[in-house]
Structure 1
């Protein structure tokens, strides 16, 4: 159970479910009529105004995180509030929360009594709520928001706390596109020069000498004859073969760029009426 003196440390803490999964961060805390922290809201989106509520009865602070005995889906599906309006919880809203989480009011009240330090003074930043139930003379667990539970602090104090909202900015991954490699065939005309050779006929005449006299006088003196010579020539032959020339792959790299985001934030201003000065002084 969360004690009164721990309320200030709850804001913006990560809320972890019973399985160790992060649900969101604490947005606001509501006290019961006795001033005990009873409910808290959890922000589950970046700029969402609606915050789901969960009971602080069995929540536990562990290592700077708030651990609740429920799973993530149960908390996210719980009744929610509009965090943009500082309003107490109504009786109907509290009844729905008890029903959603399966809580017993009598057991819850006894747990808060056993927590010690019951007081009628709420902490700065915590919100009171209307609603609840009465049970056979036990301490009233509802009570409307009155001056005892001033949202700005204890009525017996001569000081008040000024708060303001800050943008909580984060990032989330989303699919931006797909890239793929595809091969297809194109046909190009290529022209290359190929050297070719051929045989040509050349007449060679030589006189009769002592060296070739025998060949010259062999055979009849006068006769007719023919002699053929076969000529050869090269011609270009075109063929193709497939050879690998390069490899192409898809690679990914992460680039970081600056983007501006905007959101509305609320600020509290304090006006001071001073007896020795004219007009009001506004503190921003």
Structure 2
């Protein structure tokens, strides 16, 4: 991949070190001093909406695309870089190289794809540079005292595990409504009532009632009447409060089982190593 033909790689498929398809190559960034390819960009994420930067050093051009000595997760998790100006500054280059476990220096170099059919780079990297060389047999970047899979640390690895952080959140589960309606029932009540009736009585003429008895004609015809009264039942209705009903809530506790996948790192040694770790 030289200065004149680097454009033909735009749109080709980029593959990871384990032959997993990463995405399509979108742009080729050249070294300011050498005009050699220094970084490739690849479209990743949902519908290819993200653009990740990948060092062009150690890229291997094959018949079906371009392969780089990095995993798909390394490429997808690469730092986001603002390239609105179309140029990478040294701080952005440093972040990218450190992410891919490559030592950064500010001297320029002739990094990029090598000329010829293999497309394997020399292992140095544009203006950023590297302190090591490419291993042409494994496609990985090595150097003295250098962590091959991440930033330089000490002589020990840290093993990490994911753990589930389980909590609760409130959400609407349903609604309850209090509604009042009217029904009609028959009710029977017995009420005592009074009524008058005529009573015919006789009494003898005595000295006390003699004047009343002789006040009229001696012989005559006449009529006398009495008004009779009676009570009847009268029904009225009066609304009165009976009880109060209100709608409230109470909390009950139940159990819910949550199942989720967690990732755990495992560290194994290769070669003649006496493994003195405890069993985990």
TM-score, reference length from structure 2: 0.49
The structure richer in helix per residue is 1
- Rg larger for: 2
TM-score, reference length from structure 1: 0.48
